[in-house]
Chains A and B, each alone.
Chain A
Amino acid sequence: MPIQYYIGLAIALFCIGVVGVLIRRNAIIVFMCIEIMLNAANLLLVAFSKMHAALHPTVANAGIDGQLFVFFIMVVAAAEISVGLAIIVMVYRNVHSIDVNFLNRLKN
């Protein structure tokens, strides 16, 4: 597969995530759109790692770092989601809303 196809797909997914963050008011949907953006970056990292492996066929483990970075991104995303959802639950318990326009002030 030409690398441009993978780059195009990842860019399209990333832009879907950006549009979702901009147009939705539900904090949980905004969170999901961040996940979409992270996954677009992961897909691109794996595609580039395979491209690197194709460019250097004689070097052992060429391009393996990209796949390890995807692994670390997944770890960080899991930690981020657990803390973020705890914060959203706490906010909902206090103000009974997760509307991001309503939550634009941190006071009260």
Chain B
Amino acid sequence: MSATEIIFWILSVLALVSGLMVIFSKNPVYSVLWLISLFFAISGHYILMNAQFLAIVNIIVYAGAIMVLFLFVIMLMNLSATAEPKKKVWMKFTGVISGGLLLWILLSVVRSSIDMRGKIAEVKTGDIGLVENLGKVLFTEYAVPFEICSVLFLSAMVGAVVIGKKEE
């Protein structure tokens, strides 16, 4: 087993355990912290696949900005003091069963598909994930979607302020 495979399995186990802890933690603050660890594991995967720009953006945008926003909202509401009301047991049971069935079906489709057999996602090599190449394509071929994204952000900003404002 090479070092790359060992890192892959460690990151995968970390991602799955963090994901499970996010949905099974009682305290929402712990959920946020586990979600941050999940994002770091996914960023590790990006670095492994040499997608350096996305790894850094994932850490800055998700683990840095969005998670701080979540923490602020949770602490603003003081949710950890009031326990979340329990869902009925059979509802939880059916949720887990249906999610597990979805997992089973999708995994068996992937296992039996001939299309995906023998295909390799190259790790540690390749230069398409570097800032230079991504920037060149982003500002030439994808310039219009990029500008539309800025309009989207502006409207999201205005929308958040309008929704969050106290009514007179």
Seen from chain A, the residues whose Cβ lies within 8 Å of a Cβ on chain B are: 1-9, 11-13, 15-20, 22-26, 28-29, 31-33, 35-36, 39, 42-43, 46-51, 53-55, 61-65, 67-68, 70-72, 74-83, 85-90, 92, 98-99, 101
Contact = CB atoms under 8 A, between A and B. Distances in A.
Contact of B156 (A11, A22, A35, A82): A82
In the complex, which range does the number of interface residues on chain B fall in?
Answer: 35 or more
B128 A64 contact: yes
A26 B28 contact: yes
Nearest to B103: A15
Pick the 5 closest A-B CB pairs, nearest first: A22-B95, A19-B99, A20-B23, A79-B156, A15-B103
A39 B121 contact: no
Interface in B14-66: 15-16, 19-20, 22-23, 28, 31-32, 35, 38-39, 42, 45-46, 49-51, 53-54, 57-58, 61-62, 65-66
B35 A36 contact: yes
Contacts, number: 230
B157 A50 contact: no
A64 B136 CA distance: 11
Interface of B: 4-5, 8, 12, 15-16, 19-20, 22-23, 28, 31-32, 35, 38-39, 42, 45-46, 49-51, 53-54, 57-58, 61-62, 65-66, 69-70, 73-74, 76-77, 79, 84-85, 87, 91-92, 94-96, 98-100, 102-103, 106-107, 110-111, 116-123, 126, 128-129, 133-134, 137-138, 142, 145, 149, 152-153, 155-157, 159-161, 163-164
